[in-house]
Structure 1
């Protein structure tokens, strides 16, 4: 800094004698102090470590001694000596420090005066017409300053009366019909924000009721404050439309326009009448094509809200554009209105469509790694067919595959790629409700309904049990956007068939369960046939040991003892996880969001889902001779079918605190209750706890159930409660930080689990809610956010009561999570 320069250390805003920390006031100031983190200014310190003019300093160093340049030129070429001035060691690190750092904010008197004027305007726009703003600069030690802005607002001016001066009788009568909903009210302040919102409201009402040429700028507000003792007389003034005629402007009253004709050009070039080859008329829609018409007229008409004979409405135009884009067979349409003649008060609507390619290919390839797969190559090939049946239907077909290498998988043939997975998927989408009965009265076309049919299969060979899966789904979805966005989805039939192909590999996958059994086998003895050469249980021998204990072959492990219950629990869970699953379910889900844009910081989201499975299969099974499994359960195609009821509810709230900081909260509850033909929930429909989007103090599947100490490597249950709280703040630039606390657990309830540690037993079980806490960092790339979290177990319910709090807070016990985008 120069001799007469001072570092701006603090801004202080006093409003009527009280300090204000409102962010909207702070952003009015032209100068803000250097950013702080925990009371320090790290970015300023980084900047100060850099050299102001490193290249000049280097040149001065070269010339400091007469023979230095000559000696350097003997060792290096002249070009190399010059380039050293731009190297990282000389100037590169300084440039880097300047980029990541922050230049000192030098207090500027001119900017202080500009800040005064902006604060004055801010309060003036909010009805404080006698506001006074003063600024005082205090000099602190170490060449720092503090600027205090003192605001005296006075009392706001309140609206005393509202009158109108509207030239057009049509506009006047229309205004009278909507003035009761005015945002401007008697007895309240008149602000610039209020004025702008009221102009937007009036303009929207007028343009949705036939005033085609009306604009927001046609509305003026006059506020008379003379001799009214801080009272305002508001005059709403709406003049006639101004039209340029020759070199002069003339005025004409606004008129209500109707749509007299709707033309749909299905090819971009067909708005040129010479290019029209095919045309048709459907329900007063005139449809044109440059070749043979490729779309069924009804499919196009269902997406158009502009109708012949209706009064012009800007909302109809917006809905039409959104609905046509939602078909996904056209790029965003152009909608043009043409006035038929000066006296007819009618418009012709021309809707010009640009078709997307009928077929589109999509090819992807990735190299991946994970905690299971050391190295993998995955590929995806997809093709999209648009307008399949000439009704804007979309058919997607794709195939996917993965080849990987895993050191965790037994590899007797010594193959490098010992992990394999492949699959195929098909999806057919209709831009309407595909149902035998008319549903228009319930689900209107402005809800953008669609019907989807999906089918898929996959087969995998990896470190797991190796699965073969077949899925099929028939579902409807629709959205309402009036007010807050509401999304609905009804899965009429969702079929899942999962078959485990390598059940003998179970104890190789669930190694924790194996290690527990092996330890007991060493302590209590086991059949020598179950042991390998080192005296450890073989994987097949582990199953034999479980069966022997459950059958009562070990007098040293009595029925009902803790050891017996543990071994029996491992055996029961094995049966559950190796079972083939046949699930035929129906579900209804609802999502309500107050989020209006991608960049919204403050919003809430509510999601609810109800699902029922097995009832339809049970009804079919009754019509045929019943076949039972070895477990005494009814089967369909030789497989026990699942039967359960499931309910989920999630609430998310994001609050903007100040500047670039916010608070995010989430709570979730879910329960799946087996009944009828089932006494447990399929693994794919159960809940787990832990992981980067749940309780970050635990790895995924490692928390719970209840107070159990992870009897399985992949723990699951049928009841879950969780809550998350995260404070997000900006560190500098695109780097953000977070402090978080995650609470929750999973339990078994109303199923066949007997171990009390795993079961939910009412309020008393809430003491088993785990608490994880930690710190995270996020880097915002714009399109996505890379996230890292360091979680610690603040309260661990798997330990004895006196050992639960803060016993696992060390770095060694911490869990590192990495993810894409925010956790909720």
Structure 2
């Protein structure tokens, strides 16, 4: 009997699977299951994921198996009953005799739970599966419009799109999307009309970096990239009030030879008055006049009086109470410099580098516009606690140890030498019982390990010679000195380990990380080698 029951279960599963493998089982009359999309461009069938993503309706997901691709999730969906609640109502609640018979074995509450579980299981099958994709002509028209917009945005302004739905008698169908691109439009003349002389000067100096070039096929993406380039260029060269809204394009495509002109237009600054009127005036260059750094602008100090201040290389540094940081340590993390031209990129760089110090919370940086064409930069820093204690413990088991316990205390000390350095002290201790400890002659806890780590971090290259010209602070350089020691008693082998590391790290770009180990030394002393 034990071998007969599994055979019945397997047989039932096979019957259920084959019953669900009818992919149009849940497709109603006069409906058609979408089985394939064909993209035909200039009378040639094309397979292109980028273009295909513009098509709204796609066939059910197919999973590749040997020799065939199967819409497995559709088959799973077909197993579920579409009207399970009505079926359960009719089978149980509308059948008094069955309810009476079931009530002899289960309480009413248990019976309600049983019926609910059947309904929930059916919903789980539907959610795991995938409903059949029924051909919808409105969505097909939308896909055709998406294809037209895609080709127009890439220079095929005279593109023509159409579709054909192929409905079959077996409730299945395919859709052919037909595209006639025509000739792409080429930019043959590029020009720029810029109202502000200051903007004109910067634009001309960097004209060769433009994404829009004569002889290139028109693409919307080039226009968006050019807007970003011009905006970043202006805001990093002193044009404080510049934004993308001031950049627009004028084109002429009515030349009859698939060529076009493209003019970049940059208007003057728009100023809205308090009375609702507006006026335009040329953009002006802005410079940074003062940089004020508030070293402890926490919420509790919001109304406190500043009692300590200093000026270091043009930076004004303020503190509530005695200043706890070396001025150079703070200014080294700031990219906004007094008496320099405004650069928008200096703000995120400053925020990132200050956060990397692990001494302050994320800073708040604001610019205040003065009466002349200057700005005052205020940098508000909220210091983290000088000491941070951490404790963790865990219990573990492995194929070697019956049971083990570990304890890991740590202490983080910030601003150790008043230069935003961090010192981390940590220790670890563990004991465990090996499988061999079950022998009565051995002590129960026969595995132990003790160790300590010291890690000192500097937010700069710690070297006798100034390395700023080789590794500027924009590369976020850091130095780490690490010392560790551990002693381990294990099964048949005891050892002591000493490790020393001195390394530098910096980031030449967002994708590249450089690390240089000045030294990395490890000494291991094995004890009880006779074992």
**Where do residues 213-224 of structure 1 align in structure 2 (5 Å cutoff)?**
213-224=241-252
Structure 1 residue 416, shift from structure 2 partner: 4.6
2:530 match: secondary structure:
helix
Tell me, yes or no, if structure 1 residue 243 matches structure 2 residue 277: no
- Cα deviation, residue 67, structure 1: 2.2
Does structure 2 conserve the Cα–Cα contact (< 8 Å) formed by 1:54 and 1:85?
no
Alignment of 1:465-504 (within 5 A): 465-481=493-509, 485-504=511-530
Shift of 1:375: 4.3
Q: Give a deviation string over 1:682-705, Cα, whole Å, max 9, x none.
A: xxxxxxxxxxxxxxxxxxxxxxxx
Corresponding residue of 2:450 = 422
Task: Tell me how far 1:437 sits from its aligned partner.
Answer: 2.0
TM-score (norm 2): 0.89
How far has the Cα of 1:376 moved from its partner?
3.5
Cα displacement (A) at 1:456? 0.5
1:164 and 2:196 matched: no
Shift of 1:181: 1.6
How far 1:237 sits from its partner (Å)? 0.6
* Structure 1 counterpart of 2:350: 320
Post-superposition offset of 1:425: 0.6
- State the secondary structure of the residue aligned to 1:504: coil
Alpha carbons of structure 1 residues 217 and 376: separation in structure 2 relative to 1, 3 Å? farther
The 1:415–1:112 alpha-carbon spacing in structure 2 relative to 1, beyond 3 Å, is: farther
Q: Which residue of structure 2 lines up, in the alignment, with residue 259 of structure 1?
A: 288
Equivalent residue number for residue 57 of structure 1: 87
Residues 21-59 of structure 1: CA deviation (Å, up to 9, x unaligned)? 222112111112111111112222222222223333211
Q: Secondary structure at the match of 1:86?
A: helix
Equivalent residue number for residue 362 of structure 1: 390
Runs of 4+ in structure 1 displaced over 6 angstroms? none
- 1:47 correspondence with 2:77: yes
> Larger relative contact order (C-alpha < 8 A, sep ≥ 6)?
2
Task: Tell me the number of residue pairs that the alignment of Structure 1 and Structure 2 aligns.
Answer: 499
Measure how far apart 1:414 and its partner are.
4.5
Say which is worse superposed, 264-273 or 454-463, in terms of deviation: 264-273
Structure 1 position 3, deviation (Å): 1.6
Matched with 1:68 is 98
Q: Is the 8 A contact 1:409 1:462 kept in 2?
A: no
Is contact 2:438–2:444 with CA below 8 Å preserved after alignment?
no
Q: Distance in 2 between matches of 1:178 and 1:333?
A: 33
Quick one: distance in 2 between partners of 1:297 and 1:181? 39
Structure 2: segments with no counterpart, 5+ residues: 1-26
Superposed CA offset, 1:532-553 (max 9, x none): xxxxxxxxxxxxxxxxxxxxxx
Q: Which moved more, 1:98-107 or 1:374-383?
A: 374-383
Matched with 2:20 is none
3-state DSSP of counterpart to 1:275: coil
Corresponding residue number in structure 2 for 1:116? 144
Is 2:298–2:381's contact at 8 Å kept on the other side of the alignment? no
Aligned to 2:488: 460
Any idea what the Cα deviations from partners look like across 1:298-334, whole Å, max 9, x if unmatched? 1001111111110000122222122111111112212
1:146 maps to what in 2? 174
Q: 1:496 to 1:54 in 2, by over 3 A?
A: same
Alignment check: 8 A CA contact 2:457 2:478 kept:
yes
In 2 relative to 1, CA 4–249 (structure 1 residues): closer, same or farther, beyond 3 Å? farther
1:503 is paired with a residue of what secondary structure? Answer: coil
Q: Separation in 2 of the partners of 1:252 and 1:408?
A: 87
Task: Determine if contact 1:372/1:463 at 8 Å carries over to the other structure.
Answer: no
Query: Which of residues 366, 369, 374 in structure 2 aligns to 1:336?
Result: 366
- Give 1:188's aligned residue: 216
Report the CA distance between 1:359 and its aligned residue: 1.9
- Residue 97 of structure 1 deviates from its aligned partner by 1.8
Q: Secondary structure at the match of 2:31?
A: coil
Counterpart check, 1:303 vs 2:333: yes
Q: For residues 513-561 of structure 1, give each alpha carbon's deviation from its aligned partner in whole angstroms, at most 9, with x where no partner exists.
A: xxxxxxxxxxxxxxxxxxxxxxxxxxxxxxxxxxxxxxxxxxxxxxxxx
What's the counterpart of residue 659 of structure 1?
Answer: none
> CA offsets per residue over residues 475-512 of structure 1, 9 Å max, x none?
2222212xx6332222222221101123233xxxxxxx
Residues 114 and 302 of structure 1, relative CA distance in 2, 3 Å threshold: same
Structure 1's 6 and 250: CA in aligned 2 closer, same or farther, altered over 3 A? same
Residues 296 and 391, structure 1, Cα contact 8 Å, conserved in 2: yes
2:110 corresponding residue in structure 1: 80
Confirm or deny that 1:21 pairs with 2:50.
no
Contact 1:55 1:85 in 2 (8 A): no
